[in-house]
Amino acid sequence: MSTRIKFCGLTREADVDLAVALGVDLIGLVFAERSPRRLALARAAALRARIPPQVSAVALVMDATAAEIRAIQAHVRPDLLQFHGGEPESFCRAFATPYLKAVPLGGVATEEAPRRASEWPSAKAVLLDGHAPGEAGGSGKRIDWTRIPDTGGQPVLLAGGLHAGNVAEAIRLVRPWGVDASSGLEHSPGIKDPEKMRAFVEAVRATDPDASASG
């Protein structure tokens, strides 16, 4: 299986169009209140309309209410939800939409990491990120790739400080289901750099023998 590529925190039409052209698998639209990449519903819906069926549109929320999530579903029609806060599994699976669950490992004791990663068995994948619990994602904080917890076979979407210069090493060490980049693709929060986007995809494909077939 090829390594999936997720670009997160896109805010501009040109960046969505380029991500699609580069063959990424998932595009993340952010609705977390504390994020500088946060989108209004109308803006997100306009970007969502540019994402074709072969690319999964992901709506990222953090401790949102059920009503807020249903509004996102109604206006944006995400293929996946991504929960980035303290949401329990019962809440995450209550919306009849497949979901990803972010598990922040920054400051988490090594022995606690496997337990945390196993708390959402119904997730399509657990997103392992480098920020501390309670912090917003997209910080660019890197995980120690040598202490990735055992997820019991659950797919891992690796995030946290990934960019074109280090994603190959991360894939070789972790062998994740997918890799997720945001700040490592940017000029500034929410403003992606086309060359960084291209270089990231090229680095993944050069490391993953099957990736070229998926693009």
Report, as residue numbers or ranges, the catalytic residues. Answer: 8, 129
Distance of CA 171 to the CA centre of its chain: 15
CA distance 178 to 204: 10
Tokens of 214: 């998926």
Q: What is the CA radius of gyration of the chain?
A: 16
Which amino acid would we find at residue 108? V
Return the H-helix or E-strand segment holding 61.
strand 56-61
Half-sphere exposure of 101 (CA within 13 A, CB side): 23
Strand 178-181 relative to strand 156-158: parallel, antiparallel, unpaired? parallel
* DSSP letter, residue 111: G
| Rounded Cα distance, 210 and 205, in Å | 7
User: What span, in angstroms and rounded, lies between the C-alpha atoms of 82 and 80?
Assistant: 7
